[in-house]
Structure 1
Amino acid sequence: MRIPAALAACLLAAGTAVAQAPSPTPSPAPSAPADGAAAAACPPTLQHTFPRLQDEKPQSLCQYAGKVVLVVNTASFCGFTPQYKGLEALDSKYRSRGLVVLGFPSNDFSQESGSNKEIADFCESTFGVKFPMFAKSSVRGANANPLFKQLALASGTTPKWNFYKYLIGRDGKVVQAWSSMTAPDESAFVKVIESQLAAGG
């Protein structure tokens, strides 16, 4: 079977590496620390505020403190874009147990050229995405948004392509990172998520 050129490029660029989070590493200063009791309840990894994709209203990630958080950098025109469907299925299946999927569209790999509204409309109409999505930003290099800088530091890996996946435990620590090649319904991947959901909840 002939593989479409766009998908072949994605597969080649994505690689297959899976990163296990190393021993605790000092995190950079959070971009939007909370105050008082809220700061104590919100781990540094989540002390950030980003514009929501659909209306660009600021949203604090501290609202997800105590949950298992799956952070994914996304794009609309990649061979891996159908993973949106699997990510939505994960979020829907495990939401009641404390999982939340967070999507961060990025044009770092030249496959997300649309406006925030265009991206939001595409995600909803094409894949029925309801999990939280945030405004388009950079996820690697000097211009990476502060959350992805922390994720890269804690996991030892930066996104090599669209649909990299980082799992944050209920304690706010990065558990593991997966390459784009890992499908949302892959059994080993889901098993790690389920083990984190069972911890403390």
Structure 2
Amino acid sequence: MSSATSFYDLKPADKSGESFDFSTLKGKVVLIVNVASKCGFTPQYKGLEELNKKYGDKGLAILGFPCNQFGHQEPGTQEEISSFCQLNYGVTFPVLKKIDVNGDNADPVYKFLKDQKAGLLGFRGIKWNFEKFLIDSDGKVVGRWASTTSPASLSSEIEKYLSKAGNKL
């Protein structure tokens, strides 16, 4: 089990190593994705940024967590990762500090997410880059999708939770 008792207790490191306090996300719908720059799914950055542009001012927050645990597809430094995201996909949502999502050194954010929402057949581990978790405006993990799920296909789920939170679409 993760030590966090609620989503809003989590404080992962941002790309500069500073604390990113999830309590600042209260009232927002949050999409969390483990990302990588050299993956077959890397073009999903484009779709994630499109969701960010479409819903960012309507209450959606997207957070990317670079991870090098799958095929060593995120070998870059924090600076290289940020530069890649900006130059290739125009990413404006936060891409936080590179972390582990599985194993003994898994970041508390991912321990919490996996505790709250198991994957297919109860599997808790993250299978690959670009797995997606949706957190509602009350901090409850309400959805989990595999890498193969396109960001655009999450629009109706995102809209459902934005509406529940009272956001105008």
Match of 2:32 in 1: 71
Offset of residue 51 of structure 1? 2.1
1:86 corresponds in structure 2 to 47
Q: Are the equivalent residues in 1 in contact too, given 2:12–2:109 (CA < 8 A)?
A: no
Shift of residue 149, structure 1, vs aligned partner = 0.5
CA distance in 1, matches of 2:47, 2:156: 15
Match of 1:133 among 95, 118, 126: 95
Secondary structure at the aligned position of 1:51 is classed as coil
**Does residue 61 in structure 1 map to residue 22 in structure 2?**
yes
Gap runs ≥5 in structure 1: 1-26, 31-42
Matches within 5 A, 1:48-197: 48-53=10-15, 55-109=16-70, 110-157=72-119, 158-186=125-153, 189-197=154-162
Supply the AA of the counterpart residue of 2:39.
C
- Aligned-residue CA RMSD (Å): 1.3
Q: Is the 8 A contact 1:46 1:147 kept in 2?
A: no
Once the two structures are TM-superposed, the CA of residue 184 in structure 1 deviates from its matched residue by 0.8
CA distance in structure 1 between the partners assigned to 2:64 and 2:55 by the alignment: 16
Rounded to whole Å, the distance in 2 between the matches of 1:134 and 1:48 is 13
1:144-198 Cα shifts (integer Å, max 9, x gaps): 1001011111111332000000000011100010000001112xx2111110000
Q: Percent identity?
A: 44
> CA-to-partner distance for each residue in 1:42-82, whole Å, 9 max, x for gaps?
x81131222222x3322211111110000000000000000
Residue 177 of structure 1 aligns to a residue in which SS? Answer: strand
Structure 1 residue 198 corresponds to structure 2 residue 163: yes
TM (norm. structure 2) is 0.90
Question: How many residue pairs get matched?
Answer: 160
Distance in 2 (CA, whole Å) between partners of 1:126 and 1:138 is 24
